[in-house]
């Protein structure tokens, strides 16, 4: 498009700016059905990525810069809608395994870069623009299939994720770890042959399809439970017929009858108790209704004498309490951490802004580095940008899985607060960035630092999901978490803008003056 590095960085910033209005998806999840939210998500993605693909592939004439900027914002915002549904489904169905559930749901979203990059390379190595086309249409197919199976429990429903739920998370985690290790190992192998690329994609597709084993197993177990319950009812019905005395029975038949009789006795005792409680409840209800009618008649006859205590109770409420009760919800005192926070109460919470700052200095820095990875790689003299992008995606996938592992060892980590894990995953970013800034420009340094940054950024992104729900409640989780990740847009605007200015100032003087695009080589570029 003939633009300089600052404008190119601004397009990456535009994708993150789409997250500024991600809170709209959280509000939509509270009032719209799941299929409608997913429909909006895929529509935004098709518009954003689809038109970008048409421009990059030269199928249509280049669009104005401001139009491309809006398309990037739409593409970035579509991710918020998809993530909001995924996070809400994961946390709602596994409330006691939030870290594991969020880690698994975010990990596969991070793996999409690897899948799309290698798939586009397999289809046509000379057309990297296919990456945008896959981003536009693959989510449509996946959402169309998954919307059939998505289930979000009611807010007051009791969800038991023990037993079968625990087995499901174990199976998911095992498959995810195998997929992550396989993706990382493959990236270090030599590429170039279509047969090898095809074999890699075939194995990767098999690993992804193996996830279907989990819902199929759950469905089969559900049928077994239903069959067991129906068998129990049949045993009770048989016991009713079987409990009468018999003249001639053998020992085995006698034992069977005794077992059936025990079942019948339990059933009979429960039935009698239920009938007695029902009669007592009806009598008590009629008595209370009669007393209520009597009190109402007395109150109509002597309204001043019936409830002399009411006026006294009203006087006990002070004027300050009355003012608090009359205040709108957003003006009431900020709830303590762990209770439900509305969006405006969240913005008045000091704990939230501390949380916001930690995320800004940790996960956001890593994401900005990943957004500028292509330019950083080229400035250091390396041309294997797609391979490095796949590598950082694979390690980000591994980091997201690792973020949920502490939930498997609750007896050891029960006293360790989840927000502390944000600090632990942020610490390795410091030496990784120093390695890039001060060590020799070796390929091993670039790959090692990128792997660390990708792992930590992925882990922070995943840990933040259950942390937001635990600190500020589940009722407004969709809105609150999207307010949190708005710092990605501000961080991208700040850090990405600074990186673009430094890059343009350090640009090589060998670039032609007739071209508006600039090229910078060396560590000074970043």
465 lies in some domain:
yes
- 0.85 exceeded by the pTM? no
Rounded distance between C-alpha atoms, residue 201 and residue 187, angstroms: 12
Burial, 482: exposed, middle or buried (Cβ in 10 Å; 0-12, 13-18, 19+)?
buried
- What does the pLDDT average to over 441-470? 86
- Asked if residue 234 belongs to a domain, the reply is no
Asked if 84 and 22 count as a contact pair (C-beta separation under 8 A), the reply is yes
| Residue 334 CB coordination number (10 Å) | 18
Query: Would you say residue 317 lies in a domain?
Result: no
Residue 177 clears pLDDT 60, i.e. is over it: yes
Task: Please tell me the total count of domains within the chain.
Answer: 1
Helices (H), 427-519: 429-438, 443-472, 477-484, 486-505
CA distances (Å), 296 to each of 98, 300, 308, 312, in order?
A: 51, 6, 15, 20
What is the CATH number for 479? 1.20.1250.20
Mean pLDDT, residues 17-24 taken together = 83
The answer as to whether 476 is a domain residue is: yes
Among 266-270, 275-279, 348-352, name the most confident range: 348-352
304 within some domain: no
List, for residues 379-418, the tens digit of each pLDDT value. 777 766 667 777 888 888 888 888 877 776 665 556 577 7
Joined together, the tokens standing for residue 198 give 């095809």
Mean pLDDT of 281-288: 57
Cα–Cα distance list, 16 to 87, 276, 286, 347, 499 (Å): 19, 64, 63, 21, 16
CA distances from 106 to 29, 43, 90, 319, 462 (A): 18, 21, 10, 49, 6
Please give the C-alpha separations between residue 473 and each of 99, 207, 327, 340, 494, in angstroms, as whole numbers: 15, 35, 21, 4, 30
Q: What is the pLDDT of residues 293-326, one digit of tens each?
A: 666 666 555 554 444 444 444 444 444 444 544 5
122 belongs to a structural domain: yes
In a domain, 14, yes or no: yes
pLDDT of residue 249: 39
Tell me the per-residue pLDDT of 326-352, one tens digit each, with 9 for 90 and over: 555 556 677 888 788 888 888 888 999
CB atoms within 10 A of CB 267: 17
Helix ranges, 305-380 (H):
308-316, 319-326, 343-347, 350-361, 363-371, 373-379
Give phi and psi for 128, each to the nearest 5: -65, -15
Structural contact between residues 108 and 17, judged by C-beta atoms closer than 8 angstroms = no
* CB-based contacts of 52, cutoff 8 Å, min separation 6: 68, 71, 72, 75, 132
Query: Is 323 within a domain?
Result: no
Highest mean pLDDT among 153-162, 164-173, 240-249: 164-173
Query: What DSSP string describes 445-456?
Result: HHHHHHHHHHHH
Please determine, for residue 503, whether its predicted confidence score (pLDDT) is greater than 70.
yes
- Structural domain of 463: 5-150+160-222+343-508+517-525
């Amino acid at each position: 498009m003939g633009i300089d590095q600052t404008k190119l960085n601004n397009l990456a910033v535009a994708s993150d700016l789409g997250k500024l209005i991600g809170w709209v998806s959280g509000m939509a999840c509270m009032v719209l059905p799941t299929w409608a939210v997913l429909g909006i998500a895929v529509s935004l993605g098709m518009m954003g990525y689809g038109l970008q693909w048409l421009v990059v592939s030269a199928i249509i004439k280049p669009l104005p810069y401001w139009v491309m900027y809006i398309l990037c914002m739409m593409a970035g915002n579509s991710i918020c809608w998809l993530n909001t549904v995924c996070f809400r489904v994961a946390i709602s169905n596994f409330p006691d395994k939030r870290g594991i559930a969020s880690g698994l749901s975010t990990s596969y979203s991070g793996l999409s870069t690897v899948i799309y990059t290698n798939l586009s390379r397999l289809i046509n190595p000379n057309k990297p623009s296919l990456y945008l086309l896959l981003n536009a249409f693959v989510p449509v197919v996946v959402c169309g299939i998954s919307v059939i199976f998505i289930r979000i429990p009611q807010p007051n429903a009791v969800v038991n994720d023990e037993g079968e739920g625990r087995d499901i998370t174990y199976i998911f985690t095992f498959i995810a770890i195998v997929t992550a290790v396989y993706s990382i190992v493959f990236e270090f192998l030599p590429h170039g042959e279509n047969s090898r690329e095809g074999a890699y994609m075939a194995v990767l597709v098999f690993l992804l399809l193996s996830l279907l084993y989990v819902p199929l197993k759950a469905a089969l177990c559900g049928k077994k439970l239903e069959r067991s319950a129906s068998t129990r009812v049949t045993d009770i019905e048989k016991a009713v017929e079987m409990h009468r005395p018999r003249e001639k029975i053998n020992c085995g038949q006698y034992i069977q009858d005794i077992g059936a009789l025990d079942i019948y006795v339990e059933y009979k005792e429960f039935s009698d108790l239920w009938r007695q409680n029902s009669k007592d409840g009806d009598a008590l209800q009629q008595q209370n209704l009669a007393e209520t009618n009597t009190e109402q008649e007395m109150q109509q006859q002597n309204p001043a004498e019936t409830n002399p205590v009411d006026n006294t109770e009203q006087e006990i409420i002070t004027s300050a309490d009355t003012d608090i009760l009359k205040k709108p919800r957003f003006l009431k005192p900020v709830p303590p951490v762990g209770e439900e926070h509305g969006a405006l109460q969240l913005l008045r919470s000091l704990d939230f802004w501390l949380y916001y700052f930690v995320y800004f200095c940790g996960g956001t820095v890593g994401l900005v580095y990943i957004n500028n990875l292509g330019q950083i790689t080229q400035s250091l003299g390396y041309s294997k940008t797609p391979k490095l992008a796949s590598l950082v995606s694979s390690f980000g996938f591994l980091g997201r899985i690792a973020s949920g592992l502490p939930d498997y060892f609750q007896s050891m980590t029960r006293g360790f607060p989840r927000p502390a894990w944000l600090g632990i995953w942020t610490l390795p970013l410091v030496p990784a960035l120093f390695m890039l800034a001060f060590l020799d420009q070796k390929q091993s340094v670039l790959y090692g630092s990128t792997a660390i940054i990708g792992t930590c950024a992925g882990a922070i992104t995943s840990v933040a999901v259950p942390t937001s729900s635990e600190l500020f409640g589940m009722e407004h989780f969709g809105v609150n978490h999207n307010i949190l990740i708005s710092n990605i847009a501000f961080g991208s605007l700040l850090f990405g803008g600074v990186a673009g200015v430094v890059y343009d100032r350090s640009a090589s003087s060998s670039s032609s003056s007739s071209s508006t695009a600039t090229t910078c080589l060396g560590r000074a570029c970043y």
